[in-house]
Structure 1
Amino acid sequence: MTFQDAYDALLARWRVPVEQLELPDEFGTTHVNACGPADGPPVVLLPGYGATSPVWFAVAPRLAERYRVYAIDLIIDAGRSTNTGRRPKTPDDLHTWLTNSLDKLGLDQTALCGHSYGSWIALTYTLAHPDRVRRLALIDPTDSYLGLRLPYVLRGLPGLLRPSRDRTTSFLRWETQGLPVDPGWLELAGLAAEQPSTPFVRPKHPTDDQLRTLPAPLVFVAGRTKSHNPDKLTQRVTTLTPSATVVRLPEATHHSLPTLHADEVAPALAQNFSA
């Protein structure tokens, strides 16, 4: 199976009509998978690095019952976005890219949700452009309140230095610790590792003072995540952003989200976005 075949196969499982949009700008062309009522309140979903936007197959259709959902392929990652123009090199570049995408979609303001690396983009974008984000949700955020655990970094490093399907699927199976990871997504993530992509933009951690200004995010914490210490993450969120709503998912790992836990994630997102 090719990467494009695996992408389409997972997208077909959204079970709702999906409009595929192409948004040209200075960086190239951003691909967006959109679903839900055209006049519904907007929700933008940003995937984790290497996950691609079809990873939202268990969450997006539920949100689409009420919201207009825009699931974006990151411009610097595998997927159907193509970085044929200016290369993003800094967090500010990624913020400019996301602003361009929101402008092209006609969204002056939106609910914004990210997982993993996508949560870091969502959080730092909200800090930089609070007027553009109505509600913020972070799914097991990385490089935001905490850095990554060293064992996680070391285990994932070979796949970053020499990306391959086998290294990626081995890493994901290691982190998900025997949970029944969806085989269609695992196939896509493995193939994504071998797709050409723009060099990774290294995250810059927000300061504690910046995190104290964050307006009432919804934060999901995976109880079995190997990417960071979940108790310390919870403590940091509640201390630095006391307006946050924290949802602990005791059986979740970092990479079992968002696919395996949609029964918990989707209703909490829908409720938060309606507030």
Structure 2
Amino acid sequence: MSAHPAAGPAPSPGSALDAFLAAYDEALARWPVPVEALTVPTPYGATRVNACGPRDGRPLVLLHGGGATSTCWSATTAALAGAGHRVLAVDLIGDPGRSTLDRPRLGGVPGLLGWLDAVLDALDVPATDLAGHSYGGWIALRYALHAPTRVRRLALLDPTQCFAGFRPGYLLHALPLFVPPRTAAKARAHLDWESGDTALDPAWRELYALGFAGFPAARPVTGPRPSAADLRTLTVPTLVLLAAHTRTHDPRTVAAQARRTLPDATVAVLPGTSHHTLLTAHPDELNRHLTAFLTPDRP
């Protein structure tokens, strides 16, 4: 493994970036398991990987949603590490976090998938279980289609732009996020609206807001939804977990399309969760689904 001790964007004392990185470190310190912070070199820039669990465990790469940072997995890491996984939570390059994008652009979807290839190569992981939430779910699905021999099992957690598009109402409410200036208040308002009455973790809410306002903005790599024909070629065992109260898309439509295009997939809807609270609102239920799927032979 060619990873080395962690580094990240260099802030100016007292800057908005400084506040974000301090909040990031505080969030990571609250993880319930010891964390090994790694920096992985890639042709696109240094990538932060927060690793935990047994070093000889079955690799499990986690990809967070847009703006969420890899710290968002705090409620799942103990259960996954306890099930024997070597958990590798990655900060998406170009996104708020401790990864550093050295290029103005990644080069579209091929560049994004090439970056993840490079991360796995640097970690010495020829094949891995792969889980992604939201935008990270879209990346995970695209990667499984791109390199199916490198993905053993695939878990998609309320994935966006995979099986259905965004609700028009969601896009309308998200519009202020794309109108300058970028402020923490806009991010907080969006999270609060989307989460509704579900329990949004206050510390993570603030970290997300600080990252939105203080991290150097880079346009995320996006692309079309995979076609139904492409999805039907996917032979990787897949779990699709949806938030019952998500406002990003219609969970019933997503569930139906996932079952239609991935006949062998396991699809479930978790009650009492929204898009942004899926990972934290009911962690016992989430972890039960994840560990049962990712460690099917566990006693």
Provide the TM-score with structure 1 as the length reference.
Answer: 0.97
Give, in whole Å, the separation in 1 of the partners of 2:39 and 2:266: 34
In structure 1, what is the equivalent of residue 93 of structure 2?
A: 75
The alpha-carbon deviation at position 143 of structure 1 amounts to 0.4
In structure 2, what is the equivalent of residue 174 of structure 1?
A: 193
Write out per-residue CA displacement over residues 122-163 of structure 1, whole angstroms, 9 at most, x where no aligned residue: 001000100100000000011011111111011112113332
Bigger shift: residues 261-270 or 20-29: 261-270
- Aligned to 2:110, the other structure's residue is in SS state helix
The alpha-carbon deviation at position 185 of structure 1 amounts to 0.3
Give, in whole Å, the separation in 2 of the partners of 1:240 and 1:98: 25
Aligned residues of 2:53 and 2:87 also touching (Cα < 8 A): yes
- Aligned to 1:8, the other structure's residue is in SS state helix
Matched, 1:218 2:239: yes
Letter of the structure 2 residue corresponding to residue 190 of structure 1: A
In structure 1, what is the equivalent of residue 202 of structure 2?
A: 183
CA-based RMSD of the aligned residues comes to 1.2
Q: Which runs of 5+ in 2 are unaligned?
A: 1-17
Give, in whole Å, the separation in 2 of the partners of 1:154 and 1:88: 28
Letter of the structure 1 residue corresponding to residue 64 of structure 2: P
Give, in whole Å, the separation in 2 of the partners of 1:59 and 1:130: 25
Number of corresponding residues: 275
In structure 1, what is the equivalent of residue 225 of structure 2?
A: 205
Matched, 1:116 2:134: yes
Q: How does 1:123-142 map to 2 (within 5 A)?
A: 123-142=141-160
The alpha-carbon deviation at position 16 of structure 1 amounts to 1.2
Which of 248, 270, 280 aligns to 1:259? It is 280
Aligned residues of 1:78 and 1:192 also touching (Cα < 8 A): yes
- Aligned to 2:170, the other structure's residue is in SS state helix
Give, in whole Å, the separation in 1 of the partners of 2:152 and 2:245: 30
- Aligned to 1:80, the other structure's residue is in SS state coil
In structure 1, what is the equivalent of residue 43 of structure 2?
A: 26
Aligned residues of 1:214 and 1:241 also touching (Cα < 8 A): yes
Bigger shift: residues 60-69 or 95-104: 60-69
The alpha-carbon deviation at position 86 of structure 1 amounts to 6.0
Give, in whole Å, the separation in 2 of the partners of 1:259 and 1:98: 26
Give, in whole Å, the separation in 1 of the partners of 2:110 and 2:23: 32
Q: Which runs of 5+ in 1 are unaligned?
A: none
Matched, 1:62 2:79: yes
Give, in whole Å, the separation in 1 of the partners of 2:74 and 2:95: 18
In structure 1, what is the equivalent of residue 59 of structure 2?
A: 42
* Counterparts in 2 of 1:203 and 1:257: CA distance versus 1, 3 Å: farther
Aligned residues of 2:130 and 2:140 also touching (Cα < 8 A): yes
Write out per-residue CA displacement over residues 169-196 of structure 1, whole angstroms, 9 at most, x where no aligned residue: 1000000002221111001000010211
Which of 257, 263, 267 aligns to 1:242? It is 263
The alpha-carbon deviation at position 250 of structure 1 amounts to 2.1
Give, in whole Å, the separation in 2 of the partners of 1:8 and 1:90: 30
Give, in whole Å, the separation in 2 of the partners of 1:186 and 1:155: 17
Aligned residues of 2:272 and 2:281 also touching (Cα < 8 A): no
Aligned residues of 1:91 and 1:204 also touching (Cα < 8 A): no
The alpha-carbon deviation at position 97 of structure 1 amounts to 0.3
Letter of the structure 2 residue corresponding to residue 137 of structure 1: A
Aligned residues of 1:208 and 1:240 also touching (Cα < 8 A): yes
Aligned residues of 1:29 and 1:83 also touching (Cα < 8 A): yes
Aligned residues of 1:26 and 1:86 also touching (Cα < 8 A): no
Letter of the structure 2 residue corresponding to residue 80 of structure 1: R
Percent identical: 44
Give, in whole Å, the separation in 1 of the partners of 2:263 and 2:239: 11
In structure 2, what is the equivalent of residue 94 of structure 1?
A: 112
Give, in whole Å, the separation in 2 of the partners of 1:61 and 1:102: 22
Give, in whole Å, the separation in 2 of the partners of 1:205 and 1:111: 22
Give, in whole Å, the separation in 1 of the partners of 2:101 and 2:217: 8
Bigger shift: residues 138-147 or 77-86: 77-86
Query: Which structure has the larger Rg over C-alpha atoms?
Result: 2
> 4+ residue stretches of structure 1 with deviation over 4 A?
none
